[in-house]
Structures are given as structure tokens and as C-alpha cells.
């Protein structure tokens, strides 16, 4: 393994021993040192997300790597959170977090934390031109909003960007946005989900900034040591950002300019189809063709496979019984590059022998037919329906071609809630074909209006090749990790149950608060010293001022009416008022339960990452993470929300000056963007896609057909 270029002088182990006089020259005391990390794994979230499930992914990944490598020291960090989706307990105003977005789901290391994970955060900081110019319209019920009505945090930012701004292809991230208008209003009314309102959204170019930052992070890790093993585990829109980052990583010519070693894409909205609902409501003739979608996916996943890196050799990770070579504790004595022993497992069994594999150069797709978000009409993403082995597409003006999708370098696994013959469909069985929908099964585990009018179809008998390698042992996926206990038991078909429900968290309550009206409270008897019967009531504004004086905006109300108490009592009035924003949040969190879309089911299941993700990521080395100061700095630059001073001080301030100039320039431009809404220049964030991304829109094909018809109206009319 290559020597570290981090130039870190630090204590990695120590032991006290008694010094003996006249001891032999070869006498020594053994000192236990920290074992090295086997990889760096970057975890990236999707839209409208602040890392809700990062704790389960990190915890499961660490547990699985311990089992895979024969270690016991990996342990995930903790994350701050309020009430979670699977928690039925009621909340009070005292349970609410102040400055929520600065606290919730933030990673905190403890003395026991030892993890190869870097959480990557991204989002939008709304530019001044997209903020309300009228100060009175900058907040709604205590929530900051942009000029379209999208809820923002106090920094006028939103981690992950707006829910509606998600895309199902890569070119749409460049200089486009989700459109408003009557069609959007109609869809918003039909869906009736106040926690995910549909509003016009600002430019999506913040997604390109995220991809550039992700690429810069991977590149910087490789600049510390060119043989670093880097994985990316991505969810939802984060999968598209991760794919785009691979193209950016190929733009340089240095030893650090190569794709990540392995990608794990979970619940990806990336779609190969030309969705009619999307064209009707949003893109029209600017919709990307199936040709462009398929070629882009094949190109970007192909980069990972084509640039597979061989160092360090897996043989070098094995324990040398003779002691002639040090494996630096990366693996235990029962591990080998071809076969290893899993000493523990979720089922409590021990000594399970499994086939080890080199996962470098691979992309894994984790998909679930029950993902009702990616399964929406207009999305129809591969994270719901999976991928065919290949697809036939046509470039405008050219002959049809077959684009190969699945391969040794691009593999997929199915995660489903369904049971067949009364048994769960296991993850990690021997590779082969599987029927997505058989017998009386529904397309997505839903029914009625939801099934037939909101979701893309899956035909009965439709098959997919599951070519993810066998896992030992195969396991039942954990798909109910974020639903309320007992809510997913109602039968739908012989092997399916209806979706469970979820509690909403404070983030969702505050989003809902930005689009609803505050409700009136019951009449409230209120002391009013000095009030005499027959002397007149205090003015409504006077009472409102008295009730709100000195209180936070989220604890203030609007007084609707003031009357004398009945029977009239000196010094006593009755106030009719609205609820305060905080009272509304509590009401929503205690009363509103929403059906799970299962879009985060794979993410929120700890077992899924313990038993699959940990065995699908690549292993090798992580010399950057072996140095705690480098690790702290890399984690700091992966969080777009941190002030520049905190980034510079991360890792005791030792290494910021050693960052590559291009990395520093991007970090500092991102800081200005989050601080003031000043988006980086085109020299840093391009407005057009890089070469591996293919763009072709319906208009190009339609114009070609029209031109052919005009030039030859009777014969040889090309059909799409």
C-alpha cells in the first residue's frame, strides 16, 4: 500500500512498561495500534432531505464492515433528532427545536465513534432575486419562504432543495426549474399533501454545484493518496448528482482524476422512459428522449467500470501469519481476498463462510417496486421498476441501437415488502430472473385512485434480471423501519399489505405551516387588571400586543375578538385568538399521520446496510481517514452549510492550507453562496453538461420528422 502523503505525526498507540537493566537488545513490549480504515464511503441524500436516515445507514454499514472484515471496532456516529416517523408518542411545545434546521439530524461523534463514512450535504440557498421583495411577505406563519411560497430555513436555504424540483434525468438539472401555473396547482390540490406542497421552484443549478463539490471531495481524497478507495452511497436525487460527478471527475488528467471506486444507488428517480405526464405538466417538447437517457446512464456507469483501480491489491489486506508483511489491521485473521468468514450476523449465527469479492469498478442499483415516490406518473424511475438488461433506442436521424445496461460492472438488487408463498422475498439469493409482479399482486403495493391514476404501471409477468452477487446468508429486507408499529398489517392481496403510516417530524410540520392557515383556538379567559364592568373593553390590538410582548415569533398569536367574560367579572376578559405557530406545529405532529411512500424504506432499514451495502462497497485503503485531522476537514467540506471559519479550523486547522487550489476555490465559492445567495460563476459551475452526458429533446426528433414529411410527404415518413 502506498505511503500516506498526509505527513501526520501523531500517536497511534501507546503502552507503559517497566525498563529493565541489562535487557537483551531484541527485548520489546508489544503496543496495540489503531487498525487502519478499509475505505472511505461518502453518503449523499436526495431532495427535501437533511439526512434523516444517515444514522441507520452509517450504523448498519459499520456493523456490516465489522462482520465482513472480521473486526469489532467500527461504530457509527450519533445524529440529533426529534420525534421520528416510527414514533407514535405525542409531542408538546417543549419538545420543539429552536432554529430547527441548524440542529436536527446533525452528526455527532462520541468517544466510541469509528467510522469510514463522510456524510455529504447539499441544497439551495435562494438568491436575492427569488426572495419576496415585500418584507411582509418574507414569512408565513413564522416560516421564511421564497417568492413562490416554498418554505426556507432562517438562512433562506433548504437542504436538498425543493421536493418538486427533483428530476428523472441529468440534463434537466442544468438551468431549468419546476414550473408553476394551473397544472401544478391542480396536481397540488389532487395530491393534498401539505408536507410536500407543489410550488414553482428556483433554478436547479444548485444540483450542479453539488455534483462539482462531490467530485472535488473525491479528487481531494485521492490527492492525499492516489490509491484511496472511495465509495459513494446515494439516495434519490443524490444518485443523479453522484452519476454526474463521475463525469466531472474525468475532466482532469491527473492520478486523482478518476471515478469513485463503487457507487450504490438507492431509490433512484433516473428514468429511461419519455413520461407523458412529465411532458404534459412540465417539459413539453424539451423532454429528454429515451435515447439520451439510456446513453447517458450507460456512459456514466461505464466510466466507473472502465477506470477500475487495482491498487491496493486485495492480497495485501490479508493477515500474514508469518509476520513478514503488515496488513495494518484492515482485516482479521479469518478474512481472505476470495473467501472470508462472517463471525457474527443479524440472525445470531456465527462462522458463515462467504465469497469475498473486489467491488471496485462496480455500480449497484437498489430498487423497490413499493417506492411510490419514484413510481409516480411522470417519474417512473429505475429505483422503482429496476432495469432491463438492455434497451433499444433510436437517435434522431440514425438507425436503432441496443444499449446494454446491466453487466458485471452494473448490478441490481430487489428490495420488496411482498411475501410469496407466505415467505419474504430475500435479498442476496443466487442471481437470476425474477417476476416483478405476479398473481394478484399490485404494481406498487397501493390501491384505488393511488394505484391507477398516480403511479406508473408494472405489467403482470414483467421480469428483471437480479445480477447482484449472492450474499451469505441472504436476508429478509427491513422495509418497515420508518412506519408506525402495527399500521402496515391490513391485507391488500394474498402477499401484500397496505402501506403503513408515519408520524411527521418537525421539519414536515414547519413545511405544512408555510401553506396552511392557523386555526382559531377555543375562547380563552384572560386576566385584564383594571378592567371595570361597563367601562369598555380593551382594543383587540392592545390585547394582541400584551399577549405577544417579549415572545418569539413562533409563540405569538393573532387576536380575532375580545369579549367580556360571562357572567361579567371585573379584571377578566375572554380572548378569541389563533393558535401560535408552535401550537400549530404540535397540533400537526400529533394529529397528522401520512401514508408511507416507502421511498426511504431501503435507506431506513439498518439491516439492509449491514447485510448488503457493507458487502457491496469496495475495500482497499483510506489513508486520509486514518489521519483524524484530515478526516475532520474532509467531513467539514462535505457540509455545504458550515461557515468558512469552521471549515478552516476543522482538524485543528492543520490542513486547510494544503487543500488543492481548485478545492479551496470551490469551498470558498460555496461559502459565499450559502452566506449571501451569490451563486458561483460559470467557470466553477457549468451551465451545460459535460461530454459523457447525452442530451436530446423531443423537439429535435419532432422537427426532424416534420422536415422529412415536408420534403417527402407521400413516402418514407420516419416514425419515432
User: SS3 sequence, 533-582?
Assistant: CCCCCCCHHHHHHHHHCCCCHHHCCCEEEEEECCCCCCCEEEEEEECCHH
Q: Of the residues 563, 578, 593, which one is the last residue of a structural domain?
A: 578
- For residue 707, being part of any structural domain is answered with no
- State yes or no: cis peptide before 254, omega within 30 of 0: no
Looking at the fold, whether 462 and 569 belong to one and the same domain comes out as no
Domain boundary among 639, 668, 688: 639
Q: How far is 52 from 440, CA to CA, in rounded Å?
A: 34
> φ, ψ for residue 447 (rounded to 5)?
-145, 170
Do 388 and 524 fall into the same domain?
no
> Could you tell me which of 303, 317, 164, 294 has the C-alpha nearest to residue 227?
317
Examine the domain organization and report whether 472 and 617 are in the same domain. Answer: yes
Residue ranges of the chain with pLDDT lower than 70? Answer: 1-10, 20, 347-350, 447-455, 713-720
Residue 370 and residue 321 in one domain? yes
Q: Strand 139-140 vs strand 143-145: parallel, antiparallel, or unpaired?
A: antiparallel
Whether residues 530 and 389 fall in one domain: no
Same domain, 478 and 604: yes
Nearest residue to 639 (alpha-carbon basis) of 7, 271, 117: 117
Q: Nearest to residue 46, comparing CAs of 150, 161, 149?
A: 161
Residue 685 belongs to a domain = no
* Judgement on whether residues 565 and 466 belong to the same structural domain of the protein: no
Instruction: Locate 351 and state its grid cell.
Output: 462462522
Quick one: 306 and 446 in the same domain?
Answer: yes
In a domain, 677, yes or no: no
Cell readout for 163 is: 421536493
Q: Count Cβ atoms below 10 Å from residue 365 Cβ, excluding itself.
A: 26
Q: Read off the DSSP letter of residue 640.
A: T
> How far is residue 366 from each of residues 265, 268, 500, 597, measured CA to CA in Å?
6, 8, 21, 16
Residues 178 and 142 in one domain: yes
With residue 245 as reference, give the H or E element that holds it.
Answer: helix 237-249
Residue 181, domain member (yes or no): yes
Residue where a domain terminates, one of 578, 603, 624 = 578
- Count of H helices and E strands in the chain? 19, 28
Domain that residue 224 falls in: 1-518+579-639
Do 226 and 299 share a domain, yes or no? yes
Q: Are residues 240 and 375 in the same domain?
A: yes
Whether residue 362 contacts residue 231, with contact meaning beta carbons closer than 8 Å, is answered with no
The single residue listed with the C-alpha cell 501523531 is 10
| Distance between CA atoms of residues 263 and 244, nearest Å | 12
| 144 located within any domain | yes
The residue behind cell 406518473 is 377
In a domain, 701, yes or no: no
Say how many domains are in the chain. Answer: 2
- By residue count, the chain amounts to 720
Which among 586, 581, 540 is positioned nearest to 557, based on CA atoms? 581
Looking at the DSSP assignment, which residues form a beta bridge with residue 340? 354
- Of 68, 227, 35, 212, nearest to 687 by C-alpha is 212
Position 414 in a domain = yes
Note the pLDDT of residue 382: 97
Same domain, 529 and 390: no
> What's residue 29's pLDDT?
72
CA distance 392 to 294: 9
**Are the CB atoms for 92 and 126 separated by under 8 Å?**
no
Q: Which three cell numbers stand for residue 69?
A: 472484515
User: What is the C-alpha to C-alpha distance for residues 491 and 15, in angstroms, rounded to an integer?
Assistant: 61
Q: Residue 262 corresponds to which cell in the numbers above?
A: 463503487
Q: Flag whether the pTM goes above 0.75.
A: yes
Phi, psi of 244 (to 5 degrees): -60, -35
Residue 686 lies in a domain: no
Amino acid at each position: 500500500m502506498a505511503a500516506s502523503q498526509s505527513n501526520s505525526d501523531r500517536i497511534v498507540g501507546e503502552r507503559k512498561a517497566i525498563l529493565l537493566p541489562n535487557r537483551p537488545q531484541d527485548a520489546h513490549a508489544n503496543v496495540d495500534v489503531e487498525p487502519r480504515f478499509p475505505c472511505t464511503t461518502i453518503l449523499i441524500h436526495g431532495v427535501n432531505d437533511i439526512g434523516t436516515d444517515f444514522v441507520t445507514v452509517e450504523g448498519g454499514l459499520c456493523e456490516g464492515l465489522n462482520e465482513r472484515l472480521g473486526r469489532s471496532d467500527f461504530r457509527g456516529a450519533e445524529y440529533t433528532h426529534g420525534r421520528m416517523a416510527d414514533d407514535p408518542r405525542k409531542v408538546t411545545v417543549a419538545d420543539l427545536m429552536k432554529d430547527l434546521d441548524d440542529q436536527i439530524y446533525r452528526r455527532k461523534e462520541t468517544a466510541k465513534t469509528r467510522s469510514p463514512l463522510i456524510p455529504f450535504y447539499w441544497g439551495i440557498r435562494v438568491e436575492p432575486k427569488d426572495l419576496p421583495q415585500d418584507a411582509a411577505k418574507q414569512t408565513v406563519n413564522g416560516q421564511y419562504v421564497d417568492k413562490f411560497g416554498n418554505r426556507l430555513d432562517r438562512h433562506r436555504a433548504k437542504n436538498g432543495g425543493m421536493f418538486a424540483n427533483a428530476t428523472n434525468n441529468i440534463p434537466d438539472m442544468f438551468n431549468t426549474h419546476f414550473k408553476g401555473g394551473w397544472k401544478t396547482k391542480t396536481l397540488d390540490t389532487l395530491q393534498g399533501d401539505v408536507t410536500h406542497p407543489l410550488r414553482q421552484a428556483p433554478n436547479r443549478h444548485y444540483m450542479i454545484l453539488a455534483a462539482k463539490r462531490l467530485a472535488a471531495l473525491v479528487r481531494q481524497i485521492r490527492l492525499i493518496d492516489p490509491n484511496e478507495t472511495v465509495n459513494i452511497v446515494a439516495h434519490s436525487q443524490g444518485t443523479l448528482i453522484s452519476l454526474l460527478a463521475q463525469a466531472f471527475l474525468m475532466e482532469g488528467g491527473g492520478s486523482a482524476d478518476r471515478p469513485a471506486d463503487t457507487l450504490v444507488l438507492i431509490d433512484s428517480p433516473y428514468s429511461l422512459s419519455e413520461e407523458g405526464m412529465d411532458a404534459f405538466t412540465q417539459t413539453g417538447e424539451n423532454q429528454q428522449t429515451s435515447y439520451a437517457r439510456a446513453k447517458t446512464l450507460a456512459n456514466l456507469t461505464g466510466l466507473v467500470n472502465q477506470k477500475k483501480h487495482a491498487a491496493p491489491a486485495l492480497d495485501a489486506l490479508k493477515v500474514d501469519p508469518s509476520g513478514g508483511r503488515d496488513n495494518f489491521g484492515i482485516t482479521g485473521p479469518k478474512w481472505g481476498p476470495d473467501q472470508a468468514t462472517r463471525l457474527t450476523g443479524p440472525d445470531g449465527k456465527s462462522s458463515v463462510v462467504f465469497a469475498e469479492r473486489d467491488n471496485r469498478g462496480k455500480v449497484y442499483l437498489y430498487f423497490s417496486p413499493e417506492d411510490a415516490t419514484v413510481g409516480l406518473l411522470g417519474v417512473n424511475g429505475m429505483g422503482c421498476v429496476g432495469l432491463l438488461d438492455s434497451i433499444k433506442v433510436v437517435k434522431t436521424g440514425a438507425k436503432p441501437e441496443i444499449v446494454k445496461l446491466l453487466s458485471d460492472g452494473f448490478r441490481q438488487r430487489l428490495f420488496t415488502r411482498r411475501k410469496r408463498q407466505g415467505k419474504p422475498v430475500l435479498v442476496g439469493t443466487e442471481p437470476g430472473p425474477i417476476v416483478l409482479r405476479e398473481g394478484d399482486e399490485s404494481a406498487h403495493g397501493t390501491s384505488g385512485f393511488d394505484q391507477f391514476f398516480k403511479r406508473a404501471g408494472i405489467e403482470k409477468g414483467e421480469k428483471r434480471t437480479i445480477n447482484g452477487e449472492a450474499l451469505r446468508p441472504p436476508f429478509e429486507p427491513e422495509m418497515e423501519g420508518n412506519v408506525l408499529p402495527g399500521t402496515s398489517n391490513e391485507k391488500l392481496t394474498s402477499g401484500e399489505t397496505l402501506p403503513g403510516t408515519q408520524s411527521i417530524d418537525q421539519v414536515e410540520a414547519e413545511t405544512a405551516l408555510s401553506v396552511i392557515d392557523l386555526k382559531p383556538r377555543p375562547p380563552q379567559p384572560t386576566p385584564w387588571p383594571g378592567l371595570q364592568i361597563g367601562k369598555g373593553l380593551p382594543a383587540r390590538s392592545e390585547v394582541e400586543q400584551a399577549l405577544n410582548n417579549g415572545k418569539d415569533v413562533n409563540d405569538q398569536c393573532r387576536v380575532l375578538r375580545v369579549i367580556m367574560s360571562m357572567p361579567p367579572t371585573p379584571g377578566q376578559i375572554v380572548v378569541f385568538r389563533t393558535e401560535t405557530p408552535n401550537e400549530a406545529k404540535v397540533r400537526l405532529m400529533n394529529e397528522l399521520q401520512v401514508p408511507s411512500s416507502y421511498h426511504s424504506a431501503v435507506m431506513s432499514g439498518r439491516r439492509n446496510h449491514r447485510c448488503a451495502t457493507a458487502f457491496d462497497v469496495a475495500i482497499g485503503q483510506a489513508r486520509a481517514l486514518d489521519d483524524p485531522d484530515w478526516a475532520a476537514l474532509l467531513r467539514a467540506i462535505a457540509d455545504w452549510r458550515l461557515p468558512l471559519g469552521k471549515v478552516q479550523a476543522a482538524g485543528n486547522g492543520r490542513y486547510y492550507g494544503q487543500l488543492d487550489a481548485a478545492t479551496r476555490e470551490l469551498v470558498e465559492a460555496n461559502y459565499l453562496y450559502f452566506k449571501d445567495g451569490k451563486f458561483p460563476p460559470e467557470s466553477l459551475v457549468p451551465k451545460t453538461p459535460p461530454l459523457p452526458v447525452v442530451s436530446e429533446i423531443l423537439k429535435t426528433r419532432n422537427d426532424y420528422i416534420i422536415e422529412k414529411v415536408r420534403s417527402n410527404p407521400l413516402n418514407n415518413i420516419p416514425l419515432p
